C-alpha cells in the first residue's frame, strides 16, 4: 500500500470547471492538500450558494482497496481529473447535494456536499480570487490569457535633432571601374601654302570682283535685269477720243 495516498492525487489539484444543468449554472473547483482532496461547488445567480465536500485517504482506499499500489492510485486520480476536464459531471440536487463524476459510466463516483455558511462562503471566495490574482501576475496581471502578445516596453531611443547629420554607413556595393574619357580626334592641319601660290590667290580674288562689277555696269539700257541679253519691252500709250467731239 502507498504510504501517502494524496501524493498521487496531484492531477486533481487546481482544476476549475463550469456545469450547466437545466437553467442552473454551477462552478466547480478542485484542490488537493496533504490530507484530503476537497471540492467546492458554487451556484450562480440570485440564489447563489456554496457547498463543499472532501475525500480523505480512507475514503479513497475504501473505493480502490487498501492494498492499492501507487500506480493504481495515480491511474485512478488521473481518471477523476479527466472527468472534470471533459465536463463529465452532474449535480444531484437531492438532499444532501452530491457531485457525481462520470455519471454515465459503469461506476460513477459520488462526493457528498455540505452547504457552507455565508461567512465560510465569503472567506473562500476571497481566498480564491487572491489565488487568481497571484497567477495573473505571470500574464502581466491580466485575468485571462490574451491571444495578442503585448511586447515589453524597451529602452527609450534618443531622438536626433534635424540639424545633426548622421554618419552614413559604408556601402557594400562594389564600385564600378572608372570609364576612360573619349579621346578627341585631332583637327586636320592644313598644309601651309607656298608664297608663290598665296600671291596668285590674292591676285585672282580682286580680279574676279572687278569682273562681276563690270558685267553689271555693261548691261545695255532697257535690258532685263534678270536676263541682261534680253531687251525690255516698250509699251505705247493708247489715246481715247473725247465724247464732246
Q: 174-226, pLDDT tens digit by residue?
A: 556 666 556 666 655 555 555 555 555 555 555 545 555 444 455 555 555 55
Q: Which pLDDT value is given to residue 185? A: 60
Residues 28 and 81: their CA atoms lie apart, in Å, by 12
| 39 domain residue, yes or no | yes
Render pLDDT for 139-157 as a digit per residue (tens, 0 to 9): 888 988 875 665 655 565 5
The pLDDT, as a whole number, for residue 245 is: 46
CATH, residue 36 = 2.170.210
So what's the pLDDT on residue 9? Answer: 95
Tally the domains of the chain.
1
Report pLDDT for 207. 56
Residue 52's DSSP bridge partners are: 40, 114
Segments in 86-230 forming alpha helices (H): 118-136, 195-217
C-alpha cell at 1: 500500500
Please state the length of the chain: 245
pLDDT higher than threshold 90 for residue 6: yes
Contact 64, 76 (CB under 8 A): yes
pLDDT bucket at 229, cuts 50 / 70 / 90: low
**Given this model, what pLDDT does residue 119 score?**
95
Is 220 inside any structural domain?
no
**Which of 64, 105, 55 is CA-nearest to residue 82?**
105
Q: Flag whether 76 is in a domain.
A: yes
- The verdict on residue 45 lying in a domain is yes
Q: Does any domain span residue 219?
A: no
Closest CA to 123 of 43, 44, 40: 40
pLDDT at site 189: 58
In-domain check, residue 237: no
Return the number of other C-beta atoms located less than 10 Å from residue 76's C-beta: 19
Share of the chain above pLDDT 90, in %: 49
Phi then psi for 70, rounded to 5 degrees? -65, -35
Instruction: Judge whether 198 lies within some domain.
Output: no
pLDDT for the residue numbered 39: 97
**Do the Cβ atoms of 116 and 52 come closer than 8 Å?**
yes
How far apart, in whole angstroms, are the C-alpha atoms of residue 212 and residue 128?
Answer: 129
173 vs 51: which has the higher pLDDT: 51
Residue 47 lies in a domain: yes
Mean predicted confidence (pLDDT) in 162-169? 54
Q: Which domain holds residue 66?
A: 5-115
32, containing H or E segment: strand 24-32
Predicted model pTM? 0.59
Amino acid at each position: 500500500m502507498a504510504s501517502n495516498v494524496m501524493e498521487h492525487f496531484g492531477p486533481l489539484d487546481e482544476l476549475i470547471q463550469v456545469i450547466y444543468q437545466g437553467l442552473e449554472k454551477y462552478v466547480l473547483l478542485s484542490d488537493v492538500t496533504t490530507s484530503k482532496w476537497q471540492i467546492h461547488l458554487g451556484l450562480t445567480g440570485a440564489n447563489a450558494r456554496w457547498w463543499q465536500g472532501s475525500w480523505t485517504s480512507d475514503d479513497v482506499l475504501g473505493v480502490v482497496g487498501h492494498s492499492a499500489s501507487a500506480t493504481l492510485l495515480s491511474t485512478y486520480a488521473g481518471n477523476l481529473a479527466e472527468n472534470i476536464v471533459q465536463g463529465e459531471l452532474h449535480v444531484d440536487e437531492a438532499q444532501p447535494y452530491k457531485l457525481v463524476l462520470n455519471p454515465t459510466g459503469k461506476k460513477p463516483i459520488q462526493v457528498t456536499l455540505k452547504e457552507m455558511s455565508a461567512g465560510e462562503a465569503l472567506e473562500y471566495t476571497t481566498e480564491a480570487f487572491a489565488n487568481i490574482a497571484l497567477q495573473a501576475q505571470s500574464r502581466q496581471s491580466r485575468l485571462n490569457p490574451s491571444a495578442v502578445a503585448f511586447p515589453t516596453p524597451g529602452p527609450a531611443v534618443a531622438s536626433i535633432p534635424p540639424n545633426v547629420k548622421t554618419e552614413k554607413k559604408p556601402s557594400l556595393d562594389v564600385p564600378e571601374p572608372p570609364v576612360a574619357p573619349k579621346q578627341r580626334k585631332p583637327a586636320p592641319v592644313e598644309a601651309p601654302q607656298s608664297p608663290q601660290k598665296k600671291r596668285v590667290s590674292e591676285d585672282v580674288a580682286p580680279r574676279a570682283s572687278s569682273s562681276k562689277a563690270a558685267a553689271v555696269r555693261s548691261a545695255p539700257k532697257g535690258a532685263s535685269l534678270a536676263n541682261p541679253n534680253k531687251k525690255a519691252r516698250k509699251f505705247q500709250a493708247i489715246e481715247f477720243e473725247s465724247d464732246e467731239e
